[in-house]
Amino acid sequence: MASVSHHLDVPESQPESSLSGNMYRWVSTVDHKRLGLLYAMAALLFFVIGGTQATLMRMQLAVPNNHLISPAMYNRLFTMHGTTMVFLVGMPLLAGFANYLVPLMIGARDMAFPRLNAFGFWVFLFGGLLLYYSYIGGGALYGSGSAPDVGWFANAPLTENAFSRGTSTDYWSLGILVSGLGSVASAINVIATVFSMRCPGMTLARMPIFVWLMLVDSWMILIALPPLSAAQIMLTLDRHVGARFFDTQAGGSALLWQHFFWIFGHPEVYILIFPAFGTVSEVIPVFSRKPIFGRQAVVAAAVAIGFISTSVWAHHMFAVGLSSVTNTFFAASTLLIAIPTGIKVFNWIATMYGGKLRFEVPMLFCCAFLFQFVVAGLTGVMLGVAPFNFQLHDSYFVVGHFHFTLVGGFIFGMFAGIYYWFPKATGRMLGQQAGRWHFWLFCIGFNLTFLPMHVMGFLGMPRRIYTYAPGRGWEVWNMMASIGVAFQIVGLLFFFYNVIRSLRSGPLAGDDPWDAWTLEWSTTSPPPEYNFETIPVVRSSRPLWDLKHPNDPDWRYG
């Protein structure tokens, strides 16, 4: 790695440390790193809220015929839990990681459109608050405040005026519409940044895999999110000006909503898993001390997943009574996705093979990710086999499947990322010991919660039920699942404790604590506002390796 002398005039930042001054700097910031952290902090806050909702649901379901929570409240809980976790935890975590890391990894000083970036964050936050305002303002029957209770995919016609009076569904629709705007804005920004802001020598072929995945991810967002927005606009027209898009009482179609939603919804789940894929693709090589195995294959597989994922949506609709030809087509395309995904999994394992594995906390999360994601993917394959899906659809098996992908995959991947990049963002290391406690408790709790759900599904337990009668063989499994949550909570408390303690007194990290190879580790921790004092020039996909091994640089190969 060399560097071009694009020197910056750095204004000496005034050491203004008053609280209001600090607040003002965060609120008015257009710096991609601060926005990235804002996104991540908002996501963690919503994660605690969504997790609390989940905890309440698990308490209700721990025993049969429980009267802890009323049916109406339970229905709001799972709707808000699902919506929160997907739109207010998943999307902002993704945006946070992308914002923080993409410019650093490609040697840029900021995103392409810093102000659009800030706009994206505040719009997202506003959408989230709008959704949560429904708890206060969403007058349901009898004028009592209430949150939406239509499920996270809000099937029509349950969302139509006839069945969902009051305004709670409008909060769902508009809150997500608005926060979706933020996601599209940040996707445009990532794409423009990746194409236009790379430092000299950073060809597409040399880009870190994380950046590649964020690029593909942003494309998917561009294509997948507007259909949801369109459907939400239609729903709002239905509810407020009497349009009939999904109004089955007046000739509208109930299935059209499902098609529109899942045209968004399926790519969305890959949108969510990609940041985890990206993180794993950065962490595993560093902790195996080897370059990623089959770079091109990993990238090509991501692009393939992006393409295939746009044509599998109806696998969420196998049970609605589509023709057998349609079902066969969608089953086939669904199963095909296993191949590029498998390529990725195998390449990660091959990267570890022959390396010198250091099982530090980020790597632990990556290993758990691998096991859990393979389970999740294979249960996905089981669901993709349409005739089996007729049984499994809308049962707890599905709940098990998608928590394995979303928690076992996405959340574990993101924890790997947090442990890995926290030193870069804050200058301090997260505690190893507390990190291990967090990992093991969360891992055990996670499996204890979500493995039994597969069995509940086999035993015919439908999802989204607020209670169930005793004697159907579901009690043990539900109890196990609920106990698991306790482990998860303790694990997560270790995490929060670790973060707070390390922010104050964690050991100093230095520029490059993991002995890593991508550009973000070449600047200080935390990076200065302008990221790089001089714009770097790179000649391979591992610029810091080249620097550290002048006798055997990467650019000599391939």
Partner 1 sequence: MAYTASPPLDATTAATEWKPPDRGTVGIASFIVAETALFAIFVAAYLFYLGKSLNGPYPRDVLTVPVTATICLLSSSGTIVMAERALQRHQTGPFRLWWMLTTALAAIFLVMTGMEWWKLIRHDHLTVSTNCFGSTYYGLVGLHASHVIVGLFFLTLVLLVSFRGFPITTQERRIKLLSWYWHFVDAVWVVVFTVVYVIGR
Partner 2 sequence: MAPAILSLLQIGLLQAALLQGTAAKSGERRITNIFEPFATPAAAERDIGLFVMLITAAIFVAVCALLISTMIRFRRKPEDDERQEPPQVYGSNQIEIAWTFIPLLIIFVLIGVTARVIAVVQGANPGPAPVRARIIGHQWWFEVQFPELGVATANEIHVPVAGSSGPATMFQLESVDVIHSFWVPQLAGKLDMVPNRANTLWIDPTEPGTYLGNCAEYCGTQHANMLLRVTVEPKDEFLAWAAAQKASINVNTQDVEGRQVFESLSCVNCHAVRGTPANGKFGPDLTHVGSRQTIASGMIPNTPQNLRAWVNDAQEMKPGVLMPNMKLTKQELDSVVSYLVSLK
Pairing state between β 535-537 and 2-4: antiparallel
Residue given tokens 């529109």 in the structure block: 260
- Sketch the per residue contact string, 289 through 328, with ligand HEA: x for CB under 6 A, - otherwise: --------------------------xx------------
> Could you say whether residue 388 binds partner 2 (CB under 8 A)?
yes
- Name which of Cu ion, ligand HEA, partner 1, none residue 142 binds, using a CB cut-off of 5 to 8 Å depending on partner kind: none
Q: Are 407 and 373 in contact (CB under 8 A)?
A: no
Give, as ranges, the residues between 472 and 501 that touch ligand HEA (CB under 6 A).
Answer: 485, 488-489, 492-493, 496
Q: How many residues bind partner 2 (CB under 8 A)?
A: 100
Structure tokens at 156: 């029509």
Q: Which residues contact 21 (CB under 8 A, 6 or more apart)?
A: none
Closest CA to 517 of 552, 491, 547, 481: 547
Site string for partner 1, 98-117 (x = CB under 8 A): --------------xx--x-
Assign 462 to helix, strand or coil. Answer: strand
Rounded least distance, CB 500 to Cu ion, Å = 37
Query: How far, in Å, CA of 117 to CA of 229, rounded?
Result: 20
Instruction: Answer yes or no whether residue 113 interacts with partner 2 by CB under 8 A.
Output: no
DSSP E strands: which ranges in 49-138? Answer: none
28 binds, among partner 1, partner 2, Cu ion, none (CB under 5 to 8 A by kind): none
CA distance 298 to 283: 14
Q: Which two structure tokens, joined as six digits, stand for 510?
A: 């230095």
Residues 268-327 binding partner 2 (CB under 8 A) are 288-291, 293-297, 319-321, 323-324, 327
Which single residue brings its beta carbon nearest to Cu ion? 266
Q: Which of 164, 229, 333, 389 binds ligand HEA (CB under 6 A)?
A: 389
Scanning 309-353, the segments in alpha helix (DSSP H) are: 324-336, 338-352
For 18, 175, 225, 541, the CA distances from 211, given in Å and listed in that order, are 36, 29, 20, 11
Out of 40, 42, 57, 370, the residue judged to bind ligand HEA by CB under 6 A: 57
Please state the closest distance from residue 314 (CB atom) to partner 1, in A.
14
Tokens of 394: 């809308």
Q: Footprint of partner 1 on residues 243-262 (CB under 8 A)?
A: 243-245, 250-253, 256, 260
Minimum distance of Cu ion from residue 555's CB (angstroms): 40
First to last CA, the chain: 17
Task: Check residue 111 for interaction with ligand HEA (CB under 6 A).
Answer: no
Determine the residue type at 456: M
* Partner that binds at residue 367, options ligand HEA, partner 2, Cu ion, none, CB closer than 5 to 8 Å by kind: partner 2
- Determine the size of the site formed for Cu ion (CB under 5 A): 1
Q: Hey, what are 441's tokens? A: 């408790």
Task: State yes or no: residue 253 binds partner 2 (CB under 8 A).
Answer: yes
d(CA 94, CA 7): 31
> Is 106 within 8 Å of 35 (Cβ atoms)?
no
Omega into 526 within 30° of 0, i.e. cis?
Answer: yes
Minimum separation from the CB atom of position 242 to partner 1 (A): 3
Candidate residues 266, 344, 401, 424; the one interacting with Cu ion per rule CB under 5 A: 266
What's the one-letter identity of residue 436? Answer: R
- Binders of partner 2 in range 18-77 (CB under 8 A): 70-72, 75
Q: 534 in helix, strand or coil?
A: coil
242 contacts which partner out of partner 1, ligand HEA, Cu ion, none, CB within 5 to 8 A by kind?
A: partner 1
- Greatest distance between any 2 Cα atoms in the chain: 76
Q: Provide the binding-site residues for ligand HEA, judged by CB under 6 A.
A: 48, 51-52, 54-55, 57-58, 78-79, 81-82, 85-86, 89-90, 151-152, 269-270, 272-273, 315-316, 334, 337-338, 341-342, 345, 374, 377-378, 380-381, 383-384, 389, 393-394, 398-399, 401-403, 405-407, 409-411, 449, 463-464, 485, 488-489, 492-493, 496
